[in-house]
Amino acid sequence: MTTPVTTAEHFRSLYATSADPWHTADSWYEQRKLSILLAVLPKSRFSSVYEPGCGNGALTLALAGRCERLLASDFCDEAVRLTKERVSAHYHVQISRESLPEQWPSGGEPAFELIVLSELCYYLEHEQLRLTVSLSVGSLLPLGHLLACHWKRPFDDRQQDTAAIHTRFAAHAELRACAHYEDEEFRLDLWQKRGTGEAA
């Protein structure tokens, strides 16, 4: 199993080779996935959004136009630098370096109307994933939305199966399913946090 240190070194080597290691600028998979993800969002604008694992900021830039406040983070210094450059004209966007779930913002207190977990959770070990599910739901405002989107194919760094990740979120008593998209490449699910006093 890949250790956190090895994973960090791997990401540093990826960004040392390319500022766009996943080809977000020219990959049809990335462009199509981004279009579908943005189309699934249930509102044109959100008051507050959190995007952990922001990478080089391709999705961050798109989300910046859909919200009043956006916090994005990554554990890789180069990813943070690239994202800051990409969104430098958007003063309502804050980029921070965070290792998750240990440095999850606000200690899980409700703060966000939307949380987007894109191509992130399969890098987490089992206990990290459990905490991420709990912290994500805890950080959502009542009736807020959580979106998870993950590639389905195998790769060397994968710690979690995509179906298992989404099943973990779907099983949470405070979430109800809103939308689902799946093809041979990726799976996307959108949930809404139940309102105060709303039964599961």
Q: What is the pLDDT of residues 86-142, one digit of tens each?
A: 999 999 999 999 988 999 997 778 899 999 999 999 999 999 999 999 999 999 999
pLDDT of residue 21: 55
Max Cα distance, the chain (Å): 51
List, for residues 33-46, the tens digit of each pLDDT value: 999 999 999 999 99
The predicted structure's pLDDT at residue 2? 39
Which of 17-21, 74-78, 100-104 is predicted least confidently? 17-21
pTM of the model: 0.88
- Contact at 8 Å (CB) between 113 and 48? yes
Q: Residues 6 or more apart from 97 whose CB is under 8 A from it?
A: 73, 74, 75, 76, 77, 80
pLDDT exceeds cutoff 60 at 15? no
pLDDT tens-digit map of 105-118: 977 788 999 999 99
- Beta bridge partners, 91, equal none
Q: What's the gap between Cα 188 and its chain centre?
A: 11
Average pLDDT on 167-188 reads 98
Residue 7's φ and ψ, nearest 5 degrees, are -60, -45
Long-range Cβ pairs for the range 22-25 (8 Å, 24+)? 22/55, 22/119, 24/55, 24/56, 24/58, 25/58
Please tell me the distance from the alpha carbon of residue 75 to that of residue 84, in angstroms, as a whole number.
14
Residue 8 scores a pLDDT above 80: no
Range in 11-25, 51-65, 113-127, 176-190 with the lowest mean pLDDT = 11-25
Q: What is the mean pLDDT of the chain?
A: 89
Q: Buried (b) or exposed (e) across 29-60, using 16+ Cβ within 10 A?
A: ebeebbeebeebbeeeebebbbbbbbbbbbbb
Percent of the chain residues past pLDDT 90, beyond the cut: 72
Mean local confidence (pLDDT), 50-63: 95
pLDDT, greater one: 155 or 46: 46
Quick one: pLDDT at residue 5?
44
